[in-house]
Amino acid sequence: MEMVTGNMVAAIMEEPMAPLVVRNMPVPVPGKGEVLVKMEAAALNPSDLSMLTGGYAVKPRYPFIPGIEGSGTVVGHGGGLLARLRMGRRVACTSSPGGGGTWAGYMVTSAAKTIPLPTETTFEEGASLIVNPMTVVAFLRILKGGRYRAAVNTAAASALGKMLIRLLKREKLPLINIVRRTNQVATLEEAGAEYILVSSSPGFEEKFASLAERLEADIILDAVGGSLAGTLISKAPPGTRFISYASLSGDNISIDPKELLQQNKSAGGFYLATWLASQSLTSTLSDISKVKRMISSELATEVSASMPLSDINKAVTEYRKQMTRGKIIIKP
Ligand SMILES: NC(=O)c1ccc[n+]([C@@H]2O[C@H](COP(=O)([O-])OP(=O)(O)OC[C@H]3O[C@@H](n4cnc5c(N)ncnc54)[C@H](OP(=O)(O)O)[C@@H]3O)[C@@H](O)[C@H]2O)c1
């Protein structure tokens, strides 16, 4: 066992919907199979915003330190083979359910939730190496495994959406990108998107139906939910598979059962943690190495600003206002 003692600064959520409080607290102690990561950079993702408002899949126990993803150096461990192997390594990491998060000077997490960073990968890149990139390579596995002809993605100006555009372009798989604002079109064109539709523009439903039919789109990856998702399911060609991977609108999806039963459409969900638990070690290791290879290219994340942990409430407010502009990285 190797320990670090003393105090650290952490952002703490003391009760639901309260502003974050930044204060000193003791550095946590890793248990068996766990590592202590000295945090260098931490991302702000939509899942963090859901966690702050109590809407995330994992329900926090208050008070807690938020932050699902980040990067840093392993400076302590509580024993166990993998934890010992990680000692001294620069890693990308995610928090463990029920443990502290990445918005702190140090975080204890399971050694299995760390990925060693290649020498050329910066901490800033490492802060967004797991959640979105691993999801995008999982989507590629789903698309290839199901031999889908063309895909649809919503909230397509997201960091994840841009990764998907670049990766599917490389794979020569057509992708219909749906955004909600006209000013997001240029961003997607820059990322290399060929098919872009704006859901708020006149004639959207007809344009989607005709493009989806022409490209024989047969899978929808949806991050929005609500009425948009219902429209896409209804207007997509027969046989389309619908996968919900987020609920940015916060609204339920209404589906006419006849769409499913008469047109052989199907609906399901994707959650990265569940997906990873269902995959073989070999396929996960192969996906991790693909992510590491592409983290500065197809799977790169744009960063709009870096802020110190003391500005965490400002960072959350700015990110909420301007999600498309790029990620805000916290430097603890
Ligand atoms: N299921 C999983 O395991 C999994 C894994 C990874 C990511 N995700 C999800 O993937 C999504 C993208 O993540 P990210 O980190 O790439 O996001 P991001 O870079 O922060 O971007 C979020 C995007 O969503 C758009 N958006 C927000 N609310 C919207 C709404 N109601 N309708 C349409 N568009 C909306 C924003 O556009 P505006 O500028 O117009 O607000 C922005 O372009 C998130 O919802 C995240 O939770 C899920």
Find the CATH number of the domain harbouring 143. 3.40.50.720
How close is the Cα of 4 to the center of ligand 1, in Å?
37
For the chain, which ranges sit under pLDDT 50? none
Residue 294 lies in a domain: no
Q: Does 292 map to a domain?
A: no
Residue 303 CB less than 6 A away from ligand 1 = no
Best mutation site among 45, 48, 183 for ligand 1, i.e. most ligand atoms within 8 A of its Cβ? 45
Note whether 241 and 317 are same-domain residues.
no
pLDDT at position 57, please?
75
Query: Which atom of ligand 1 is nearest to 226's Cα?
Result: 31
Within this chain, do residues 145 and 264 fall inside the same structural domain, yes or no? yes
CA–CA distances in Å: residue 332 to residues 39, 40, 89? 6, 6, 18
Q: Does 290 map to a domain? A: no
Residues 150 and 268 in one domain: yes
What is the Å distance from ligand 1's center to 181 Cα? 13
- The answer to whether residue 286 is domain-embedded is no
Evaluate: CB of 131 within 6 angstroms of ligand 1. yes
Token digits of residue 156? 């397509």
**What pLDDT, on a 0 to 100 scale, did the predictor assign at position 121?**
98
Identify the residue whose C-alpha is closest to ligand 1 atom 20: 323
Question: What is the reported pLDDT for 54?
Answer: 81
Residues 158 and 49 in one domain: no
pLDDT confidence of residue 98: 81
**Is the Cβ atom of 185 under 6 angstroms away from ligand 1?**
no
* Under 8 Å between Cβ of 71 and 22: no
CA dihedral 40, 46, 47, 53 (to 10 degrees): 110
The domain in which residue 149 lies consists of 138-274
Q: Evaluate whether residue 164 is within a structural domain.
A: yes
Give the total number of structural domains in the chain. Answer: 2
Edge to edge, the sheet with strand 266-269 lists 195-198, 175-179, 151-154, 219-222, 241-244, 266-269
Ligand 1 atom closest to the Cα of residue 269 is 1
Domain identity same for 120 and 200: no
Residue 47 belongs to a domain with what CATH number? 3.90.180.10
Which residue type is seen at 299?
L
Instruction: Kindly state whether residue 283 falls inside one of the protein's structural domains.
Output: no
CA-to-CA dists, residue 88 to 32, 36, 116, angstroms: 17, 10, 10
Note the pLDDT of residue 1.
Answer: 72
Helical H segments across 117-225, by residue range: 123-126, 131-145, 159-170, 185-191, 204-215
